[in-house]
Every structure is written in C-alpha cells, then in structure tokens.
Structure 1
Amino acid sequence: MIANDRALRTHAPHRASGPLLPVEFHSVSGRVAARLAEAAFFLVVLYTLCVLRPDFTPEDFGDMRLSVQLEDTSASDIVNQLFWLAIAGLSAAAVALNPRPFMDAFRRNHLLFALGLLCVISAVWAFAPGIAFRRSILQIMILFTLVVTLNYGQSVERLHKIAYLAFGIAALANLAALPFGFAFDWRHLFRGIVGDKNVLGAMAVAALFVGVSARFYFASVFGRLVNAAYLLAWLGIAVLAGSKTSLALIVLVPAVVLGVDFVARVARVGFGSLLGVALLLTGVILLAFASGPGVGVDDLIAAVMPDATFTGRTAIWSFALDETLGHLPLGYGYQSFWNIGFNAPNLKAQDQFIHFLNQSHNGYLDVALQLGLPGLALTGIVLYAALNLVGRTRRAGRAAFWLVGFLVVFALLHNLTESSLLRAYHPTWIAFLFAAVIGDRIRAELRRGGPAPAGY
C-alpha cells in the first residue's frame, strides 16, 4: 500500500497536492503570495506551540493568588495582539498580490467565518462586552490567517511538511527544557516550555498524528529514521506530561478512525454520517442506562473509571451546566465567563478551585455557556462538515486521509474532557482548523482533477 501511495504521488502529483486555485506560481506575484502564506503558516504553528514565546516562569496551581491570576488573565496582551496583527497582515498581503483565490476559499469555508461573526455579534449581549469584542476580533484574525495560508500555500504536501518541521522544532525545544526546574510542576509532571502539562499533552497528540501521517512522504532510510526519532520524542513528551486524556487519545483516535473507515467502506456509507450516528447512539444508550432504576451517572462512570469525578471535572460540569441553563438561549457572550476579572461568573462557584479555572473542561459545554443554543448548533454543523470531509480525502492518499481524519476526530474527542473549541490559538483548536481547511482544499482539488488513479 505504501508503494501505491508513492505511485499516486509519482503519476498524479497535481491531483492530490497540486495548485488548487488560480495562484499562478509561474508569475512573480503568485510565487511571492505562496511564500508569504507558507511563512505565515509556519510562524503560526511555532507560536501555537510556544516556541516563539516560551513560558519559563509558570505558576503552580497551589501557589497562585486569585487576585493576581484574575488581573493577569483578563488584561490585554500587547505582544499577542501584535503577533496576530502581523500575521494577519502577511496573509492580507498574499491576498492583495493574488485576490482571486480568496473569494473561492471564503465561499468554501463560510461556516467558519459565520462562527467567527457570531462571536463578534455576541459582544452586544455579552457579560463583558469589551473583552468579548476584543477576543472575537482575535478569533476572526486567526480564522482569516489559516484559511488564507492553507489555501495559498503551494500544495497540501508542502503545508503538511511545514507543520511537521514546526512540530519537530517544538519537540527539540521541549526536550532542551528537561534539565531545568521550570519544566516540571509540583507533581513532577513535565510541562516543558508550555507551562501546562495538559496543553503540552494535547500538543504531543497532534504532533504524533502529524508525524505518523507525514511518514508516507519519506522514501529514504534517513527520512524514515528521522521520522522515527520525531515520533519517539513526542511519545516520550506525552508520557512525561502525564495527561491521561492525551495518552488515551493516542490509542483511541486511530482505532476510531480506522475502524469507522473500514465499516464505512464495507457498508458503502459516509464516514461522517456513520461516526455521527454512532456517537449519537452511544450517548442515548449511556443516558438510558444511567437513568435506569438504581443506577446513577456516578455509578456508570465508576464502572469504567477509577476516579468517578474525572479528577474533579464532574463538579465543574455541574456548575457550568447550571450556568448555561440559566442563560439560554444566547449565553454569556464569547469569552465572557472565564478570565474576565473580578466580576467573572465562575467566582460565585461554591467549589473554590473553580475560581482559578479558565474553562469547564468540556468544549461543547463551554460553547453553549458562551454562545448559547445558536453557537452550539453552528459549532455542531462545523464539526459535522469536517467529519464529512474525512472520507472524501481517501483518494488523495493515506497521508492526507490520516492527517485530516486523526486531527478532526482528536478534536472531537478531546473536547469531551478538555475545552479548546473557539479558544483563540489553543493547539487542539488550531489542529482542528488545519485539518478542516486542508480537508476542504483536498476535496476541491480532487473535484478539479477528477478521480484518483485506479491503482490506489
């Protein structure tokens, strides 16, 4: 099968990875636009992975002072703002040099921009309108930058390799931090240059999936050896970080993607439809079982988990759900619940540890908390559309299929116990956007180029 992948790249390079839109790479403006887009994408990945802005002085949860934490997390970050303004400027320059491709890219990714627009509009009713507007503009810049860079880059394969290189640099940077005390928290779990072991764990999962899918590009022994070292480095980082969610997803996500794909191909149904129905049925069955006589939700969780509270998450979920139901249908407004200062709604929680949090440890609950039913519905449509793209990348080769499939399903499952949906430049959110936009580009390229060769 690997030979078939190589043959696909050899005999039909423009079908899987050639120019999609009218970016004229033989013209000066086209080449400059492509290089600007690729440079901007590379910088975005490095920034998301904290390579460009490492955290050398993270605080431990037990040592934090609430007043300091509230002040730090609600204040404007001028460095962050300048970075995204510069990156959005690079992306805008690429569009100015070659404006035609952007209109098609905007049309095909209109759901993402609609979600960003809803964030901006929510500032009208937000609990903290100024913060909501500022953070929603940042989200719009991130969406704009990724849609432009991932559609203006010369090829899908080239963009994949750029991400792979950036993750490789991040692995070296985190491993270089091993001898230093700041790289470990009070539980002696590794947090590297990131400052949080759960975020580092999420980075490690995304890095492993980017690396595993990129392996098909390397035919030489040297390339395979470097890739093996890359995978071992990130696997080691994941183990040192000790994030249970991340370690579980390293195994679970490929099992789900490959298993669902096998059944979908045999049954001749869509990947997204099959997985969507499976997740819905699983939820209904679990809910029915948990609501049976003598069986509670805690009993059901305890049957499969040593800690039925999911390390205190059930208390957070209960509080966040009550707040969500109390502010339907529109929610508190984008990013207007956590980290908004001394009036933050989470400060009224009875459990003191919730006062220090910046998320509810469930991405779907956080979306409902902030954007209400409209935001939850639109986010669901975006996620389902991304799932539907997974099966349509098969004809582009296993590198593309694994990249898009693993990262999309990773984001869906990760947000069950962590929160990353619409969270600025959280690594899982950026990984999802990368997969969704790349998957859409692959689908459009396949439509333009016709069916893949019969040998695949």
Structure 2
Amino acid sequence: MAAMALLLTLTVLGPAMTTLGDSESGAGNAVRQLGYAVVFGLALIAMRPLKHPERLAVVPWFFWVALAWCWLSLAWALDPSVAVRRLVLTTIVIWSVFAVVRQLGIERTLLFVRIALIAILIVNYIVVLAIPTLGLHNLGSEDPLLVGKWRGLMGDKNQAGLICALTIIFFTFDRRKLPNALSAVVILLSVIFLWFSASKTSLGLVFIAIAASFGFTRLRAWLNSRRAILPGIRNPILVAVALALVPLIHFGVQSELFLNYIADSSGLTGRTEIWTAMMRYYLTNPVFSAGYGSFWNIGNASPIFRYGEGWVQTVSEGHNGYLDLLITVGLPGLILVLVATLIIPAYQLIATRRLTDATWALVVSVLFFCFSHNFTESSLFDRDTIGEVFLLLALAMLWTGEVDARNGNPGDEEGRRRSTSLENPALAMNRRARVRAGMGSSNGKSSRSGRRGV
C-alpha cells in the first residue's frame, strides 16, 4: 500500500519534479529517482521473496523481450551513461507497477488511483486559483498562444489535460461502491479543467475513448452470447489487430513517403517539423538508431542539433511516442514494444472472460486513450511519464485478473462471482457431480476425506 501511494505521488508530481532537474544534461531529479528506488524496495519487501520467490515473476515474459532489446541498444547508445539511468528507471517502474497491482488486487488498486487523481485535481485547482503565476501559462518566457491556458502544478497544459482525461475515464468505468454524485462532481471538475487547459489531444480523445469502450463492451457481450463461434474468430481478430501495425512498419521501411506526408510544417501546431527532423535521422540508421534514451536531452551530442533547425532544436521530446521509439531503439524495438503492450494484451482482452464487464471497459478505454495519445505526445515505454504509468496500471490489472483466474483465486468478490458465472459448463457439471458424491457440498462444508480428495 505504501509502495502504491508513493508510486502514484511520484507519477502525478513527475512533471513538476522534472523541471527541477538538469533537463539539458539528462541528469534528472535526484529526489524523484530516489523515490522510485524506495518504491521498488517497498514492493520487494511486501512480496516476501525469501519465502515466496515465485512472486517476483510478475512481469509477463513478452515485456522482458522488449526490455532486453532496449538494454541491448545501450551497446551503441550515443550517451550510455544517461541511457542507463533512464532504462533503469523504466525497468523499475514496469516491475513495480506489476508487483504492487498483483499484491493489492484490482479493487484496492482502483481505490488508490482514484484517491491520487482526486488529490491532484484539487491541488491543480488551488494552484490555478491561488497562484496564477504558476498555475497558468504566462506572458514573458512563454509562447503567446499559450498565455492563460491552465496547467496547475503539471508543468504544461498538455500534462494537465492528460491527467484530467485519465481522471474522467477512471471515474466513468468500474466505479465499484463509489457514490454516483461524487463521480459526477469529479468528472465535471475534470472536464472544466481540461477545457481551460486547451489540450486539444486529450480533449478530443477522451470522449472518443469512452465511446469506443462502450462499443467494444457491447461487442464483447454479443461475442460471449455466442461462445460457440468465439474460438473460431479470436485468431482473425488478432490478425486484424496485428495488421494495424502495417502502416507503422511501412513508414519505417519507406520513410521517404512519411517525409512527404509531413511536409506541411504548419500541421499539428508545428509537430511535423519535429517529426521531419526525427525521420531524417532515422534514415541514417533505421535498424539500431540512437539507442534507448539517447536522442533527447543529452547535451550537444543530441542528433537534433544536426537534423533539426531553429526552434526544433529546443524541444525535449518528439511529440510522438512511436517515432521516439523508432529513433532510439529502431524498427525492431518499436515492433517488440507494440507486441508487448498492444498486440498480446489485445488478444488477452478478446480471450478473457475473467474480468468484470466494468473492469474490462476501463482497461479498454485506458489502452485506447493511451495508444491514441502517443500519436501526438510521447510516453510509450518512457520511464515514469503519466501516460506510461497509467498504461502499465491498466495492463497490470488485465494480467492480474488473468493470473488470479488461472490460480483459481479471483482478485475480489465481484471478480469471484464473475468467474463462477462464467465457469466452463462441463467443469461446473463435474464439480457438482463431485459434490453429490460426497467430495464437497454446495454450502461450503465438506468431510475430511472430501477435502483430501479435492
């Protein structure tokens, strides 16, 4: 519980803490780095590894494959010292999120997440209203187009918009025993803050993600009502999801086409100029690229000073999570990360019947939002960025539900009832036959021999 509380605190305060670090050299914030070491230690202690070493294996194997390529990329990284620090943090965050969610279960995880989201929403409103010089983008050192936009304690309007959008999602789905009135107030305040932040990406995507989740939930209900055909269509659905990677792979192989596509420098508030510089660099080294964490904020060694011009040289990220992976871990690394975070989880979502409908809808909405958000912002497989941590939380809840069901121990009472109702009919009939034979009883009592037989 302490690990989860500290993890969420560091995550939501990360943008503010990052500004206090040495962003140009990549040194980061020492307090933040120490905080994640404490999170890792607390999670490790809570798992009692000396007595239960198997508990350490909480991260799915396909995540380790993607991480292995990232670690291998340090062999050719432009700045290995900075890259090591960033990759250590990424690895710690991934393991810690899966560990604490596995230990706490889905219900308590949602409780902690919602407490953290309410707390940061209140803090952001206080900062905007009481300290406008800090809570608003102000004229002076800022872009004139940003003046007056709300950012609270989040560093910039896009981070503020992102946390508001995630708050809306987490208070829309799987609210458990949360009062409807409280959810409505939190959602309304989040929508207001999101509107005044003018974060176009988050404002446009959050409601699309919610609508998509409702649509996928109805599709899932229809498929579950036709279980006889479900096994036969899972693989085609997986193939369809995998085919969604084709445009990314195509642009990675035929990069000149992508350069022509983003030739208009006025598109997407100037992001296309950043993407052009990134793709120019990628063309020089399409397989290995710069190495994990070795493109932005590494001082004069950064390739952006050779491939970008003007204001592009001052930015600290590519504003596209997929392109950022492409220029750091190359096309192989990008594919491995997408397989680990999108393709396999998508198949798992299609196949699972162990999550409640509400939890399933929440996970789908968060995944849809985070992957869409990475088309204009960067967070995918990137340390403790807000988008990355909340994506990991959703994936960890999905994986926790699957592991609990596999071990015959659904994570909470609602999940237990759900798993019982979705039990395979043949297995249920066999279980009832054992009960009638004296191996157990429906009221939970059994004889000594019955327990031994089971």
TM over 0.5: yes
Once residues 115 and 283 of structure 1 are traced to their aligned partners in structure 2, the CA distance between those partners, rounded to angstroms, is: 17
Q: How does 1:47-66 map to 2 (within 5 A)?
A: 47-50=10-13, 55=16
Q: Does 1:407 align with 2:370?
A: no
Q: Does 1:417 align with 2:376?
A: yes
The amino acid that maps onto 1:360 is G
Question: Quick one: which of 175, 180, 188 aligns to 1:224?
Answer: 180
Moved more, 277-286 or 83-92: 277-286
Q: How does 1:22-61 map to 2 (within 5 A)?
A: 38-50=1-13, 55=16
**Residues 1:128 and 1:49: Cα distance change in structure 2 (over 3 Å):** same
The amino acid that maps onto 1:165 is I
Once residues 423 and 355 of structure 1 are traced to their aligned partners in structure 2, the CA distance between those partners, rounded to angstroms, is: 20
Confirm or deny: 8 A CA contact 1:253 1:410 kept in the other structure: yes
The amino acid that maps onto 1:332 is A
| 2:297 alignment counterpart | 339
- Give the TM-score taking structure 1 as reference length: 0.77
Q: Does 1:150 align with 2:150?
A: no
Confirm or deny: 8 A CA contact 1:391 1:401 kept in the other structure: no
| 1:132 alignment counterpart | 83
| 1:309 alignment counterpart | 267
**Residues 1:229 and 1:275: Cα distance change in structure 2 (over 3 Å):** farther
Q: Which one scores higher on RCO, CA 8 angstroms, separation ≥ 6?
A: 1
Question: Quick one: which of 377, 395, 399 aligns to 1:440?
Answer: 399
Once residues 286 and 243 of structure 2 are traced to their aligned partners in structure 1, the CA distance between those partners, rounded to angstroms, is: 28
**Residues 1:365 and 1:282: Cα distance change in structure 2 (over 3 Å):** closer
Local SS of the residue matching 1:74:
coil
Q: Does 1:88 align with 2:40?
A: yes
**Residues 1:411 and 1:372: Cα distance change in structure 2 (over 3 Å):** same
| 1:4 alignment counterpart | none
Q: Identity of counterpart residues, as a percentage?
A: 24
Confirm or deny: 8 A CA contact 1:210 1:403 kept in the other structure: yes
| 1:16 alignment counterpart | none
Q: Does 1:205 align with 2:165?
A: yes
| 1:385 alignment counterpart | 344
Confirm or deny: 8 A CA contact 2:59 2:95 kept in the other structure: no
Once residues 49 and 19 of structure 2 are traced to their aligned partners in structure 1, the CA distance between those partners, rounded to angstroms, is: 42
Confirm or deny: 8 A CA contact 1:91 1:148 kept in the other structure: yes
| 1:79 alignment counterpart | 31
- Give the TM-score taking structure 2 as reference length: 0.77
The one-character-per-residue Cα deviations of 1:381-427 (angstroms, maximum 9, x if unpaired) are 11212222333555432331122111111111111111101221111
The alpha-carbon deviation at position 334 of structure 1 amounts to: 0.9
| 2:327 alignment counterpart | 369
Once residues 56 and 80 of structure 1 are traced to their aligned partners in structure 2, the CA distance between those partners, rounded to angstroms, is: 7
**Residues 1:432 and 1:105: Cα distance change in structure 2 (over 3 Å):** farther
The amino acid that maps onto 2:207 is V
| 2:125 alignment counterpart | 175
Q: Does 1:190 align with 2:122?
A: no
Question: Quick one: which of 416, 419, 442 aligns to 1:452?
Answer: 419
The alpha-carbon deviation at position 374 of structure 1 amounts to: 2.5
Local SS of the residue matching 1:189:
coil
Confirm or deny: 8 A CA contact 1:209 1:403 kept in the other structure: yes
Once residues 319 and 54 of structure 1 are traced to their aligned partners in structure 2, the CA distance between those partners, rounded to angstroms, is: 25
The amino acid that maps onto 1:135 is R
The amino acid that maps onto 1:211 is F
Once residues 315 and 177 of structure 2 are traced to their aligned partners in structure 1, the CA distance between those partners, rounded to angstroms, is: 41
The alpha-carbon deviation at position 76 of structure 1 amounts to: 4.1
| 1:353 alignment counterpart | 311
Confirm or deny: 8 A CA contact 1:213 1:398 kept in the other structure: no
The one-character-per-residue Cα deviations of 1:105-154 (angstroms, maximum 9, x if unpaired) are 6265122233333333322110001111111111111112112111111x
- Structure 2 spans left out of the alignment, 5+ residues: 139-146, 224-229, 409-415, 424-454
Once residues 379 and 303 of structure 2 are traced to their aligned partners in structure 1, the CA distance between those partners, rounded to angstroms, is: 19
Which has more radius of gyration? 2
Confirm or deny: 8 A CA contact 2:77 2:290 kept in the other structure: yes
Confirm or deny: 8 A CA contact 1:69 1:356 kept in the other structure: no
| 2:213 alignment counterpart | 257
**Residues 1:217 and 1:385: Cα distance change in structure 2 (over 3 Å):** farther
Once residues 341 and 104 of structure 1 are traced to their aligned partners in structure 2, the CA distance between those partners, rounded to angstroms, is: 40
The amino acid that maps onto 1:210 is F
| 1:165 alignment counterpart | 115
Q: How many residues align?
A: 390
The amino acid that maps onto 1:74 is G
Local SS of the residue matching 2:287:
coil
The alpha-carbon deviation at position 319 of structure 1 amounts to: 1.4
Confirm or deny: 8 A CA contact 2:234 2:347 kept in the other structure: yes
Once residues 425 and 209 of structure 1 are traced to their aligned partners in structure 2, the CA distance between those partners, rounded to angstroms, is: 20
| 1:35 alignment counterpart | none
Confirm or deny: 8 A CA contact 2:209 2:365 kept in the other structure: yes
Local SS of the residue matching 1:422:
coil
